[in-house]
């Protein structure tokens, strides 16, 4: 069991809260701001925000020369930032493109959160042991997300297919962060990841899109919210959480973003949740609780 169990539970839940409310902001921007332009802007802003945070923290810390053991981490930081940033770029642009092509925020939340299923499957491919209780929790989480976010027939429109591919890309990103998070400074790791995602998104924007200034300025507030909170704060918390927690458990906690997206829609857009949606919330919270159950020890004294 990893250290800081409470922190590895609370941080993903808070992260999910930020991501869930960000779905509303993303949906507001999706129609008028092209996906790659949206992501290039928000990731560049997030880089500036985290660089400022790192600078402020540095002012209050005593400077010391890096040891011989710390110097090789620069290469690892570049590698981790490039790999995770590329995965994040693909996932974020597919998600935003899905909304741009008509996938509603609630449905996008469900399809994106399918990484709850894909992360443990990815763990199996990496020869990691998955406790049987996790599969029950995953089944409950998927059922809860279905009740919460899907209504009527489930048909893969173009936007839905893009969002499904987004879930696969987020799975890769989560597993990559689990691989590197414990070895690198969280803020520097986040900056490297966002800078890669920003540059790749900007290149895609210049090649495939023709963004206009007026719509971007008109949506400045939701873009800033997504950049500073959904990126700058939440992804940093994701890295810190994954340093302490099991990626399968953490991914289930992250999936609570679908619950928070529905709650945010109810508050901001004045939409009421149905009995079906409340049932979905209950199943999802049950999945979270079951996933947190300690493993039963056998043998020994």
- Residue-wise pLDDT for 205-233, tens only, equals 999 999 999 999 999 999 999 999 999 99
How far apart are the C-alpha atoms of 174 and 187, rounded to whole Å? 16
The yes-or-no verdict on residue 28 having pLDDT over 70 is: yes
Q: Tell me the pTM.
A: 0.82
Instruction: Tell me the pLDDT of the chain averaged across its residues.
Output: 84
Q: What is the CA radius of gyration of the chain?
A: 19
How far apart are the C-alpha atoms of 275 and 287, rounded to whole Å? 19
Closest C-alpha among 139, 112, 122 to residue 255: 112
How far apart are the C-alpha atoms of 204 and 209, rounded to whole Å? 7
State residue 1's pLDDT score. Answer: 40
Q: Please write the tens of the pLDDT for every residue from 47-72.
A: 999 999 999 988 887 666 555 545 55
Cβ-contact 160, 95 below 8 angstroms: no
Cβ-contact 8, 193 below 8 angstroms: no
Mean pLDDT value across residues 85-105: 92
Q: Please write the tens of the pLDDT for every residue from 179-203.
A: 887 788 889 999 999 999 999 999 9
């Amino acid at each position: 069991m990893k250290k800081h169990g409470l922190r590895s539970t609370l941080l993903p839940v808070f992260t999910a809260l930020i991501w869930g409310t960000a779905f509303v902001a993303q949906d507001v921007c999706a129609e008028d701001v092209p996906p790659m332009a949206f992501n290039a802007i928000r990731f560049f802003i997030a880089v500036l925000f985290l660089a400022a945070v790192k600078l402020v923290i540095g002012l209050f810390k005593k400077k010391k020369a890096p040891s011989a053991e710390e110097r090789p981490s620069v290469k690892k930081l570049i590698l981790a930032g490039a790999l995770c940033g590329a995965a994040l770029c693909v996932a974020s642009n597919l998600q935003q493109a899905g909304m741009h092509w008509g996938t509603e925020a609630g449905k996008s939340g469900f399809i994106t959160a399918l990484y709850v299923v894909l992360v443990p499957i990815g763990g199996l491919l990496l020869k990691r042991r998955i406790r049987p209780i996790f599969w029950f929790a995953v089944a409950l989480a998927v059922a809860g997300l279905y009740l919460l976010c899907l209504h009527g027939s489930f048909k893969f429109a173009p936007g839905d297919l893009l969002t499904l591919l987004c879930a696969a890309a987020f799975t890769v990103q989560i597993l990559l962060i689990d691989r590197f998070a414990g070895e690198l400074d969280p803020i520097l790791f986040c900056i490297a990841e966002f800078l890669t995602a920003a540059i790749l998104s900007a290149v895609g924007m210049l090649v495939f899109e023709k963004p206009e200034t007026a719509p971007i300025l008109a949506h400045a507030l939701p873009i800033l919210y997504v950049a500073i909170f959904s990126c700058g704060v939440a992804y940093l918390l994701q890295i810190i959480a994954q340093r302490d927690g099991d990626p399968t458990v953490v991914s289930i906690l992250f999936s609570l973003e679908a619950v928070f997206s529905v709650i945010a829609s109810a508050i901001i857009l004045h939409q009421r949740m149905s009995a079906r949606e409340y049932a979905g919330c209950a199943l999802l919270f049950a999945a979270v609780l079951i996933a947190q159950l300690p493993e039963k020890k056998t043998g020994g004294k």
